[in-house]
Amino acid sequence: MFTQTRRIGDARITRVLEYSAPTHDPAFLLPDLAQETLDAEAPWLAPNHYIPHMNRLIVTIQIWLVQQDDKVILIDAGVGNAKPRSVPRMAMLNNRVLEWLEAAGAAPERVTHVLNTHLHVDHVGWNTVRDGDGWRPTFPNATYVIPRREYAHYEALLADGSDALVEESWQDSVMPVVEAGQAVFLEEDASEVAGGLLRPEPVPGHTVGMTGYRIGEGEGAGEGFFCADVFHSPVQIAHPEINTSYCVLPDVARATRARVLEEAAERGTLLMPMHFGAPYCGHIRRAGEGYRFEGAGWPEA
């Protein structure tokens, strides 16, 4: 399904699919994951998160949509259409994401906020759309929220060199919203966004300034956490010591993952990552001295 919806408190939460496929060699994405360990976990990872006979991890690109009262909020912005990219699976896409967003009540002019958890190429693409020979903000009335530490890090990095995960998207998907005056920079000690509907929480490690967003009050079914790329695959829940090849602060990433797991298991929080296969979100349960992932169903909202 391209969209699925649930409620947390008074908020309507919709996930909008850009694409999902068995695209990643585990040895590339999770280089510290031994094949024998993956083989042992394969019975519960397959078929939604891993295809054993292909030895490929399923990686999803999706956009989370939060709606309550007059707020229409996107959390991350996928790859985007018509973007020239060196990675073939991301290059010059022609997907129907905007139509699905509109079907869910988030036509471009209705979106009030776009929250970029971090600035990797697969999280900023729909920030902009083609406008002649250039690019313009997709959501003309939205405030684009970018973690200040994240922006400053890549601004400095790109001034002195390059970074494969942001340099292709910086000019076509990040700078146009900054130059249009629609970007605001989130401080690390910020306690709320969107009038208090969401509460930002730094989750560094994968990138220096990655930020997650908590919604709802209380524990259990009343709370959710958009955890960005703290996890790329549920296998990292069973083995939280495993980083991706993209984690720029490895020890910090492990510490962040451990904290998120402990809090989610304790509070019964619904975790909503960006890259899991079906059912795309779920709960963390204790399993002995570790944790296991329990996928969450999609009740009609």
> Does 287 fall in a domain?
yes
What per-residue confidence (pLDDT) applies to 300? Answer: 61
pLDDT given for residue 220 in this prediction: 54
Structure tokens given for 18: 């850009």
Is 263 inside any structural domain? yes
Confidence of residue 202 (pLDDT cuts 50, 70, 90): very high
The pLDDT score that the predictor gives to residue 59 is: 98
Q: How do residues 136-165 score in pLDDT, each as one tens digit?
A: 999 999 999 999 999 999 999 999 888 888
Answer positive or negative: Cα dihedral of 241, 247, 250, 252. Answer: negative
This prediction's pTM: 0.96
Residue 154 covered by a domain: yes
Is residue 243 one of the residues assigned to a domain? yes
CATH number (domain holding residue 93): 3.60.15.10
d(CA 154, CA 129) in angstroms, rounded, equals: 22
**In the prediction, which pLDDT does 218 show?**
64
Q: What is the pLDDT of residue 60?
A: 98
Answer whether residue 301 is part of any domain: no
Residue 68 and residue 282 in contact, taking contact as beta carbons nearer than 8 Å: no
* pLDDT value at residue 164: 85
Residue 229 lies in a domain: yes
Residue 300 located in a structural domain: no
CA proximity to 122, closest of 228, 14, 240, 29: 228
Asked if residue 172 belongs to a domain, the reply is yes
pLDDT tens digit sequence for 42-78: 999 999 999 999 999 999 999 999 999 999 999 999 9
The tally of domains found in the chain comes to 1
Mean of pLDDT over the chain = 96
Three-class HEC string of 121-151: HHHCHHHEEEECCEEEECCCCCEEEEEHHHH
Place of tokens 């699905």: 100
Q: Give the model confidence (pLDDT) of 103-131 as tens digits.
A: 999 999 999 999 999 999 999 999 999 99
Please write the tens of the pLDDT for every residue from 207-259.
Answer: 999 999 999 976 555 899 999 999 999 999 999 999 999 999 999 999 999 99
Domain that includes residue 100, residue range: 3-295
